[in-house]
């Protein structure tokens, strides 16, 4: 985020504009992206309603999303965006949780040799196991396309019921509560730094890091 306002002439070049939204300076392009995102969910949900004549619940699934993507999305978005997600009854799911459960159950399609050894839980390993090729990881677009292929176009042949039940699906409101709880725990954890707990590996604190985390989470 630029510290100063973007001039009219600069905006014509970089297409960025700084606005004040809910009392906070925001980059207009981000808000446009958020609006486009919710409009897409609304459109897909509406189309499904017309085709199936049922009340659909949108579930957004990503690899390790409950740990990484969802907290970042909720933490950096606007109150209006979060409210829209709640009104759309958006849920979040984590395909990494699903993959771990399938590996624990030793799903036959995850085996990589005759000895019964299974592939790793990473998206890269799953992708190469199913499609015998790699993909450019950490590229935003490819990181979306890859799990889509793994979940819906691979030999796993996952049903909707299996995808929902094994991906730790949670409501947007619950994800927000978990984020706020984790942030509060992290703030409490920092108060121990340099006192009972010392983050330096060379200096031993009175209590361990794991014990400090348990206290912060209590």
Regarding whether 180 and 103 lie in a shared domain, the answer is no
pLDDT confidence band for 5 (50 / 70 / 90): low
The predicted pLDDT at position 14 comes to 47
pLDDT tens figures, 177-197:
999 999 999 888 888 877 777
Based on the domain organization, do 120 and 39 belong to the same domain?
yes
Does some domain include residue 11? no
The answer to whether residue 68 is domain-embedded is: yes
Residue 39 has pLDDT above 70, yes or no: yes
Give 170's strand partners.
92
- pTM score: 0.77
136 within some domain: yes
Asked if residue 198 and residue 141 are part of one domain, the reply reads no
pLDDT top residue among 59 and 25: 59
> In this predicted model, which residue has the larger pLDDT, 45 or 135?
135
Residues 138 and 57 in one domain: yes
Specify whether 181 is located in the same domain as 94. Answer: no
CB contact at 8 A, 160 and 154? no
| pLDDT-wise least confident of 87-101, 120-134, 182-196 | 182-196
pLDDT exceeds cutoff 60 at 144: yes
Angle at 151 between CA 145 and CA 156, to 5 degrees: 140
**71 vs 218: CA distance, rounded Å:** 21
Domain match, 206 and 143 both:
no
Q: Which residue has the higher pLDDT, 11 or 164?
A: 164
DSSP codes of every residue in 95-149? HHHHHHHHHHTT-GGGB-STT--B--SSHHHHHHHHHSS---TT-HHHHHHHHHH
Domain of 181, in residue numbers: 171-217
Comparing 16 with 149, which gets the higher pLDDT? 149
Same domain, 109 and 195: no
Q: Between 15 and 191, whose confidence is greater?
A: 191
* 20 domain residue, yes or no: no
Q: How many CB atoms lie within 10 A of CB 61?
A: 21
Let me know how long the chain is: 218
| Count of structural domains, the chain | 2
């Amino acid at each position: 985020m630029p510290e100063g306002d973007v001039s009219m002439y600069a905006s014509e070049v970089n297409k960025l504009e700084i606005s004040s939204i809910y009392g906070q300076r925001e980059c207009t392009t981000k808000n446009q992206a958020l609006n486009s995102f919710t409009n897409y969910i609304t459109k897909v949900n509406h189309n499904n309603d017309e085709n199936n004549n049922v009340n659909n619940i949108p579930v957004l699934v990503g690899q390790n999303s409950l740990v990484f993507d969802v907290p970042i999305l909720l933490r950096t978005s606007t109150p209006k965006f979060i409210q829209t997600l709640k009104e759309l009854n958006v849920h979040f799911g984590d395909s990494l949780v699903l993959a771990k459960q399938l590996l624990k159950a030793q799903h036959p399609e995850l085996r990589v040799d005759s000895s019964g050894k299974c592939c790793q839980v990473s998206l890269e390993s799953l992708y190469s196991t199913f499609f015998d090729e790699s993909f450019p990881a950490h590229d935003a677009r490819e990181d979306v396309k890859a799990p889509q292929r793994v979940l819906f176009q691979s030999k796993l042949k996952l049903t909707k019921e299996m995808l929902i039940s094994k991906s730790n699906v949670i409501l947007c409101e619950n994800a927000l509560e978990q984020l706020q709880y984790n942030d509060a725990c992290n703030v409490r954890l920092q108060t121990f730094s340099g006192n009972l707990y010392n983050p330096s590996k060379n200096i031993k604190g009175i209590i361990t890091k794991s014990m400090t985390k348990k206290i912060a989470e209590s």
